[in-house]
């Protein structure tokens, strides 16, 4: 009896170990323009993500998560690191710490469940991702609607540690709605609307993105990490980039759409970034900007189809894509009379587009990129998958000399073909 | 039966996951002197600590702990990393590895239980903290006395890895006594005495401290880490610092006092550092020192009072402050008939002082600092707390030009106001 | 009933925390030649390894391991990070990710079980160690034979992240055989044969090794890590090194021998590296090479004897040395009537030799090294050990000026004595 009493007292805090890793390989094929714009990009293999963490409960209504990444360039990189109070009056769930700020369907959904190896070109350029802040999230009782908002520090160093200079701060809000939810979640339509505001550190920002590929090495560039890591080689170069521009703030509006019908899924997001620029004379570090508003648009649309009798589940409390659980996980039958399975197989295609050129006097000329992606996913078990992606990227990097008309880019059009494969495990 | 037997065999080694994180925000207000001495310090938010580790038992009498920090500047930073044998004849408990060396009550006590967000100005300047070494600790059978001693490597790199040049080594000893222990530990008096000896690497040391605040960014300084971390911004600058001085060795004597009476607690420590300096000509790296003994004193005193019916517990085997367990943890009652709680609330005030100027011919002129701190602690559960600290710091940094009389500092007196808040979770 | 059903569903994935750490101290004694070749090496103490990880099962036939090291220079360093499918037709076990590639007995065997503190001089110079790749391994039904092969990325950055430039790739194969296996594994003979092929990144490699010692600091050298870590001190310098040489590829052939007879063990490996060099003009970065084949040999032999009635076990599925489990772990008897134990005690001696000078026109002149080592191991429990090693190293570093005849080294012969001790814990 005493033992039971003590065991009950010791119920909290709980701690569960969790983790994930991805081993990637990528091959690049560049035309003359791509080589001239980005230099030769070496094919390669690398650890894309390697995360370990602990999560659990402090009390019945207090959760925490603490995770770190050892595979990315600024290693270790701080991932989720928060504590939240659930069942709070009015706000629902209140969270303090670092987590993916509420903006964009493909960002809020875990990378473990997304259709392609990398999120679209919108992700790096226009979404906040993880930051240190305070926020809340909740859902309606019928689970057809979620809403979330937060304020957070705007800057980050290469370890994903918060870096706040001159008080850079930001905020994000998101609302989602399910107009249709049938067949126990095998048929549904998700709609979402988000807003992201930021006053960056020292009023400087750099909007940029990779070509939906991280593997690939360009020794002459600081690549993926955006910051030189001493003695370490870096990944694929940014394909479009505004450079450091001097701004007051920026506002991004984003829409989300996801339609799932058994084996089929259709997903699309569109964003527009309204950048309030400041006057700034040209120097070695900053791109020259004039006062005004640069309006920068981007979008992606993707179609998926499961060859096996599987579908893409949905988390109604997070407003996010959930884990794919194959009807029949892969199994070999070495003489045993088990029923062999081949996992879940999915084919998919994506079109994505990002324009970082402002066709006005603000002088923001980050270039534009259009990507066409084909994908094949083999979900061998609920916790392992093999992914094959082919990306054809067409880009005009925005590195025109200062002083030329901003809407004319005199760089070469780059055509880059990328074939990538990934092995993923999580637990 | 076999199963039971096997389970018993597999009893060891055990492994338990443990961790902690703190999210901080800080706002700085500087007068003209402070801006002139330290440059403008940006307000900011950051992860102060983010630790994960494993601890357990190898046998019934062999324990281990292995913990790493991902939030501090030299990430990852090695924290506790030791193995110990308990029930050893004569020595009691023998430990090998890295841990907090036995010196100073506020150092030996976990940062998770201390009253203020940061330890006093004595901590960084005069105490050894974690080092790689060999030591022992034990207590008397009546638990009224503890004693501990160890020898260890004197130097450390920015990852808290041992760095021994020219054989730098050190030792520490500590003895504590409880003249009073009543009411099941709600009333007690703790007395302690410690000694810390060090012959630093290459006979060079730098005694210095932050103003009891870590958050706050000064891009022009290497800040908290004491060493530049490439591409990373650094924290609050050191407010007083001797610079690199050339010495034979130093000895610190420290006294400890803690009186707890139910809601009240009064805590104070005083230290004197006897630094045996060497002759050294001025150059770019070293401060000029002459042969002699620089006697550098410091002290702090703090008073705490719980607004709720709570108190500050004590660990009689470690001679250290223990975890505060609120009588009523915070709980919301959403329609349920539970009894709502508001956690434990504590107000506290601290005075601290450190003088790094030797008023003699040794030429050690590190400056002096006096801090006045007000604090409010909200222990929402035994494992979570919110802290609010206001620090008023008055300092004279010791950067007088070499050659001026050592007891006259011609720098500006700096007044700095700091408001800080912290969210802490551990499990 | 529902609870049981659910518990069964939740059976996978599993996750077990595992880890290890080693605290080392080392003392160096150098003659005039050693000081002139390598500079003064400071004695010191350091964390040699500090690893934490998770391993488990995704399904009954899918295993994973994820481990990271926080003690080595390029911290964090990625260690094992793989997923494997067992019971695969034809291949047996297929693995994807990063692990110790199948080559050399002392490499495939865990450092936790090896006889001396460091592997022989062959290890760093000639074996692949951990790389990112794809491979398989299997054994015969009678467990007398194992075979393994893999292909992998050739390069690595200082965090053990894969670094592939110009598509550097490599492969390794290993086969082992037990001609004798008696007395339940107390008497056996292990034979092994391996091959390692590599086309390094940019066709550049640097064959080199430490003197079987990692602790010891030379501030003027980049030391153990092979790459400067900003602000961090580095360890023992490489004692022999070819410098960066320009090659087509290299092939290493290795033989393995291990004979265990109760308390006695005799172990030896021999390797020959066939390096296909290219013409390359002298510059600041590369050693000058001519086209040809440099044939570089190395070997070690070691003898061990347990003073207590213990022996060295063997893992028949991995073809590797297994964990030593003392018959009587160490135990103190404080008045209790337990039976005291003193653990397992082993004495050992090793001779090792590596020649990185090619006596032909290829101009490869890395030097040569001969090490004589005496060791004493105290296995206090199956999971803890204390090690004492004395190394006498005789070396001719290959730093002759370019242009001198390659077979004449005009550097000084270096005699270095190293005494080292280690405390190890794993769980």
For residue B207, count other CB atoms closer than 10 A to its CB.
26
Q: Using the predicted structure, report yes or no on whether residue B406 has a pLDDT greater than 50.
A: no
pLDDT in tens, B16-74: 999 999 999 989 999 999 988 888 888 888 889 999 999 999 988 899 999 999 987 66
Q: Name every chain A residue with its beta carbon within 8 A of the beta carbon of B331.
A: 59, 61
> Can you tell me the ipTM of this complex?
0.89
Average pLDDT, rounded, for chain C: 86
Q: Using the predicted structure, report yes or no on whether residue C221 has a pLDDT greater than 50.
A: no
For residue B203, count other CB atoms closer than 10 A to its CB.
18
pLDDT in tens, A152-208: 988 777 676 776 666 688 999 999 999 999 999 999 999 999 999 999 887 888 888
For residue C204, the model assigns a pLDDT of: 82
Percent pLDDT > 70 in chain C is: 84
Distance from CA of C377 to the nearest CA of B (A): 17
For residue A394, the model assigns a pLDDT of: 95
Closest CB from A18, A232, A383 relative to C159: A232
Average pLDDT, rounded, for chain B: 86
For residue C358, the model assigns a pLDDT of: 87
Neighbours of C, requiring at least 3 CB pairs below 8 Å, are A, B
Mean pLDDT throughout B350-372? 91
Q: How far is CA C253 from the centre of its chain?
A: 16
For residue B222, the model assigns a pLDDT of: 37
DSSP secondary structure code for residue B203 in this structure = G
Q: Name every chain A residue with its beta carbon within 8 A of the beta carbon of C166.
A: 42
When pLDDT is cut at 50, 70 and 90, the band that residue A334 belongs to is low
Q: Name every chain A residue with its beta carbon within 8 A of the beta carbon of B332.
A: 61, 87-89
How far from A280 is each of A202, A292, A398, B398, B414, CA to CA, in Å?
A: 13, 12, 18, 39, 34
**Dihedrals φ, ψ of A6, to 5°?**
-65, -40
Q: Using the predicted structure, report yes or no on whether residue C224 has a pLDDT greater than 50.
A: no
For residue A165, the model assigns a pLDDT of: 63
The residues pairing with B375 across neighbouring beta strands, listed in sequence order, are B348, B389
| Chain C nearest-CA residue for B84 | C425
pLDDT in tens, C23-40: 999 899 999 999 888 888
Q: Kindly list the structural domains of chain C, giving each domain's residue range(s) and its CATH number in brackets, ordered by start.
A: 24-47+89-426 (2.40.160.10)
Per the model's pLDDT, the better-predicted residue between C161 and B403 turns out to be C161
DSSP secondary structure code for residue C237 in this structure = P
Q: Using the predicted structure, report yes or no on whether residue C199 has a pLDDT greater than 80.
A: yes
pLDDT in tens, A124-147: 999 999 999 999 999 999 999 999
Q: Using the predicted structure, report yes or no on whether residue B412 has a pLDDT greater than 70.
A: yes
Mean pLDDT throughout A109-121? 95
Distant-in-sequence, close-in-space partners of C393: CB < 8 Å, separation ≥ 6 = C211, C212, C213, C239, C369, C370, C371, C372, C414, C415, C416, C417, C418
The residues pairing with B205 across neighbouring beta strands, listed in sequence order, are B245
Q: Using the predicted structure, report yes or no on whether residue A86 has a pLDDT greater than 80.
A: yes
The region, left, alpha or beta by phi > 0 then psi within -120 to 50, assigned to residue C308 is beta
Cβ of A19 within 8 Å of Cβ of C76? The answer is no
pLDDT in tens, C247-286: 899 999 999 999 999 999 999 999 999 999 988 765 555 6
Q: Name every chain A residue with its beta carbon within 8 A of the beta carbon of B425.
A: 58, 64, 83
For residue B400, the model assigns a pLDDT of: 53
Distance from CA of B279 to the nearest CA of C (A): 24
Question: What single string gives the DSSP state of each residue in C87-143?
Answer: EETTTEEEEEEEEE-S--HHHHS-TTT-SSSS--HHHHHH---EEEEEEEEEE-TTS
Distant-in-sequence, close-in-space partners of C229: CB < 8 Å, separation ≥ 6 = A230, A231, C73, C74, C158
Burial C151-183 (b: 16+ CB within 10 A, else e): ebbbbbbbbbbbbbbbebbbbbbbbbbbeebee
For residue B177, count other CB atoms closer than 10 A to its CB.
16
Distant-in-sequence, close-in-space partners of A50: CB < 8 Å, separation ≥ 6 = A20, A21, A22, A69, A70, A71, C66, C68, C78, C81
For residue B425, the model assigns a pLDDT of: 96
Cβ of C427 within 8 Å of Cβ of B97? The answer is no
pLDDT in tens, B295-316: 999 999 999 999 999 999 999 9
User: Across A4-13, C150-159, C362-371, which has the greatest mean pLDDT?
Assistant: C362-371
Give the separation between CA A328 and CA B326, rounded to whole angstroms.
Answer: 50
Mean pLDDT throughout A245-271? 96
pLDDT in tens, A342-379: 899 999 999 999 999 887 888 888 899 999 999 999 99
Give the separation between CA A240 and CA B108, rounded to whole angstroms.
Answer: 52
- Angle at Cα A13 formed by Cα A10 and Cα A14, nearest 5°? 100
Q: Which of B362-376, B383-397, C195-209 is the least confident region?
A: C195-209
For residue C218, the model assigns a pLDDT of: 53
Neighbours of A, requiring at least 3 CB pairs below 8 Å, are B, C
**Dihedrals φ, ψ of B225, to 5°?**
-70, -20
Give the separation between CA B254 and CA B191, rounded to whole angstroms.
Answer: 11
Task: Show the tokens assigned to B221.
Answer: 């300084």
For residue C107, the model assigns a pLDDT of: 96
pLDDT in tens, B245-291: 888 999 999 999 999 999 999 999 999 999 999 887 655 556 777 88
How far from A421 is each of A213, A347, C216, CA to CA, in Å?
A: 11, 14, 42
For residue A400, the model assigns a pLDDT of: 53
For residue A19, the model assigns a pLDDT of: 96
Give the separation between CA C398 and CA B171, rounded to whole angstroms.
Answer: 42
For residue A284, the model assigns a pLDDT of: 55
Give the separation between CA C288 and CA C364, rounded to whole angstroms.
Answer: 8
Q: Using the predicted structure, report yes or no on whether residue B231 has a pLDDT greater than 60.
A: no
Distance from CA of B225 to the nearest CA of A (A): 14
Residues of chain A that touch chain C, judged by Cβ-Cβ distance less than 8 Å? 16-19, 21, 23, 42-47, 50, 52, 70-71, 75-76, 217, 219, 230-233, 329, 331-332, 334, 380-381, 383-384, 423, 425, 427
Q: Using the predicted structure, report yes or no on whether residue B408 has a pLDDT greater than 80.
A: no
Cβ of B58 within 8 Å of Cβ of C425? The answer is yes
Give the separation between CA A33 and CA A357, rounded to whole angstroms.
Answer: 19
For residue A161, the model assigns a pLDDT of: 72
When pLDDT is cut at 50, 70 and 90, the band that residue A283 belongs to is low
Cβ of A162 within 8 Å of Cβ of B42? The answer is no
Q: Name every chain A residue with its beta carbon within 8 A of the beta carbon of B220.
A: none
Say if CB A240 and CB A356 are below 8 A apart. yes
Cβ of B54 within 8 Å of Cβ of C233? The answer is no
Closest CB from A58, A78, A164 relative to B43: A164
Q: Using the predicted structure, report yes or no on whether residue C367 has a pLDDT greater than 70.
A: yes
The number of C-beta contacts closer than 8 angstroms across A and B is 120
For residue B371, the model assigns a pLDDT of: 97
């Amino acid at each position: 009896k005493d033992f039971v009493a003590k065991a009950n007292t010791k119920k909290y805090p709980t701690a569960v170990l969790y983790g994930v890793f991805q081993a990637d390989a990528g091959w690049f094929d560049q035309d003359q323009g791509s080589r001239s714009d980005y230099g030769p990009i070496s094919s390669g293999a690398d650890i894309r993500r390697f995360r370990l963490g602990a999560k659990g409960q402090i009390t019945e209504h207090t959760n925490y998560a603490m995770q770190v990444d050892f595979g990315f360039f600024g290693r270790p990189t701080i991932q989720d690191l928060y504590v939240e109070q659930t069942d709070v009056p009015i706000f629902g769930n209140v969270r303090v710490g670092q987590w993916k700020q509420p903006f964009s369907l493909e960002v809020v959904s875990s990378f473990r469940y997304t259709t392609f190896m990398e999120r679209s070109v919108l992700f790096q350029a226009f979404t906040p991702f993880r930051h240190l802040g305070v926020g809340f999230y909740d859902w309606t009782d019928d689970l057809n609607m979620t809403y979330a908002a937060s304020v957070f520090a705007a800057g980050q160093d290469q370890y994903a540690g918060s870096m706040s200079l001159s008080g850079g701060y930001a905020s994000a809000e998101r609302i989602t709605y399910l107009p249709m939810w049938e067949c126990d979640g095998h048929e549904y339509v998700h709609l979402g609307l988000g807003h992201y505001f930021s006053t960056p550190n020292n009023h400087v920002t750099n909007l940029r993105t990779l070509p939906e590929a991280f593997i690939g090495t360009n020794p002459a560039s600081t690549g993926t990490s955006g910051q030189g890591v001493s003695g370490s080689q870096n990944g694929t170069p940014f394909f479009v980039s505004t450079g450091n521009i001097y701004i007051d703030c920026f506002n991004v509006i984003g829409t989300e759409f996801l339609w799932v019908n058994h084996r089929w899924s259709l997903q699309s997001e569109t964003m527009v970034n309204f950048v309030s620029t400041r006057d700034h004379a040209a120097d070695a570090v900053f791109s020259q900007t004039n006062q005004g508003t640069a309006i920068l648009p981007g979008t992606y649309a993707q179609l998926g189809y499961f060859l096996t009798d599987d579908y893409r589940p949905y988390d109604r409390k997070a407003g996010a894509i959930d884990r794919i659980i194959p009807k029949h996980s892969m199994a070999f039958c070495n003489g045993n009379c088990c029923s062999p399975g081949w996992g879940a197989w999915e084919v998919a295609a994506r079109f994505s587009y990002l324009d970082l050129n402002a066709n006005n006097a603000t002088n923001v000329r980050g270039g534009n990129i259009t990507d066409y992606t084909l994908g094949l996913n083999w979900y061998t078990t609920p916790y392992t998958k093999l992914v094959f992606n082919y990306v054809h990227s067409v880009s005009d990097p925005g590195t025109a000399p200062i002083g030329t008309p901003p809407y004319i880019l005199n760089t070469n059009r780059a055509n880059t073909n990328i074939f990538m494969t990934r092995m993923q495990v999580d637990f």
